């Protein structure tokens, strides 16, 4: 376990995360060499390593941005946990007896960070020479920030979109339990819709997109049903 603090918030990193990062580095390095046959091995390794760092900025920066938004809301975050088992950084708050507005401000930090990162990456992508290493890294950065921005705003209980939707409903007069039920119904609909579209794509022999959508649908349904946390 590696422990550190940012803005007085403890960050605990399990060494198991490296069992995920090293294969990611290898895969990105291999892909870069395949797509750029003229690239030397060690150049490919270095570009692959830098790409992993760029993606980590998008992912871990999202969690760190929540530290800032939580402090701004007046209800600071208590801890961040990072491990391969959890799949994504977990932001933990012991004090959840706060107003709906505080809940929403806490949840906004990560998506705002990724949106800004996406816009900056796209700007760099458009101004640097095409097919340069800088262009390639900007594309990876835009992809990482864009994917996290979209994922974080899905109305799932465990991500920012679910928090924003739930507490917006509460702020507009819904009871907490009623808001939870509305979010759950939306999640069931999203999971089933993703599965159906995925199945249709598979029937159309669009295999990769179909399998991905069916997998996403299965995960959403499992989370909604309480089978996956």
Q: Provide Rg for the chain, Cα atoms.
A: 20
The pLDDT value recorded for residue 204 is 87
Q: How confident is the model at residue 1 (pLDDT cuts 50, 70, 90)?
A: confident
Per residue, the 3-state secondary structure of 14-81, as one string, reads: CHHHHHHHHHHHHHHHHHHHHHCCCCCHHHHHHHHHHHHHHHHHHHHHHHHHHHHHHHHHCCCCCEEE
Are 196 and 125 spatial neighbours (Cβ–Cβ below 8 Å)? Answer: no
Looking at residue 129, what DSSP letter applies? P
The pLDDT, as a whole number, for residue 87 is 66
The residues with which 222 forms a beta bridge, in sequence order, are: none
Cβ pair 79, 9 in contact under 8 A = yes
What was the pLDDT predicted at 58? 94
Mean pLDDT taken over the chain: 88
Summarize the confidence of residues 194-204 as an average pLDDT. 90
Q: Has residue 228 got a pLDDT over 80?
A: no
The CA distances from residue 87 to 5, 105, 114, 200, in Å, are 21, 24, 18, 28
pLDDT digit string (tens) for 62-87? 999 999 999 999 889 989 888 766 66
At 140 the pLDDT is: 93
The region of weakest confidence among 99-103, 188-192, 197-201, 223-227 is 223-227
CA nearest neighbour of 92 among 114, 109, 108, 70: 70
* Average pLDDT value for residue range 97-109: 93
For the residues of 130-185, what is the DSSP string, one character each?
Answer: TTSHHHHHHHHHHHHHHHHHHHHTS--TTSHHHHHHHHHHHHTT--HHHHHHHHHH
Q: Return the number of other C-beta atoms located less than 10 Å from residue 51's C-beta.
A: 23
Cβ neighbours of 214 (radius 10 Å): 18
Give the rounded percent of residues in the chain with a pLDDT score beyond 90: 48
Lowest-confidence pick of 40-44, 168-172, 174-178, 207-211: 207-211
């Amino acid at each position: 376990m590696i422990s550190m603090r940012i803005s007085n918030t403890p960050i605990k990193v399990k060494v198991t995360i490296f069992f995920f990062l090293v294969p990611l580095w290898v895969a990105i390095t291999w892909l870069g060499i395949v797509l750029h046959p003229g690239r030397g091995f060690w150049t490919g390794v270095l570009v692959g390593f830098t790409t992993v760092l760029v993606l980590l900025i998008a992912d871990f920066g999202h969690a760190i941005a929540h530290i800032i938004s939580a402090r701004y809301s007046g209800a600071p975050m208590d801890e961040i946990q990072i491990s391969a088992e959890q799949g994504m950084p977990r932001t933990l708050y012991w004090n959840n007896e706060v107003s709906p507005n505080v809940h929403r401000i806490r949840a906004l930090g990560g998506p705002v960070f990724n949106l800004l990162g996406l816009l900056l990456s796209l700007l760099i992508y458009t101004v640097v020479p095409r097919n340069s290493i800088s262009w390639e890294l900007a594309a990876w950065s835009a992809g990482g920030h864009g994917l996290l921005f979209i994922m974080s705003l899905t109305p799932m209980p465990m991500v920012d979109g679910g928090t924003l939707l739930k507490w917006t409903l509460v702020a507009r007069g819904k009871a907490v339990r009623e808001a939870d039920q509305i979010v759950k119904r939306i999640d069931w609909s999203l999971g089933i819709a993703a599965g159906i579209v995925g199945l249709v794509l598979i029937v159309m022999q669009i295999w990769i997109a179909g399998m991905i959508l069916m997998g996403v649908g299965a995960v959403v349904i499992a989370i909604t049903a309480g089978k996956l946390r």
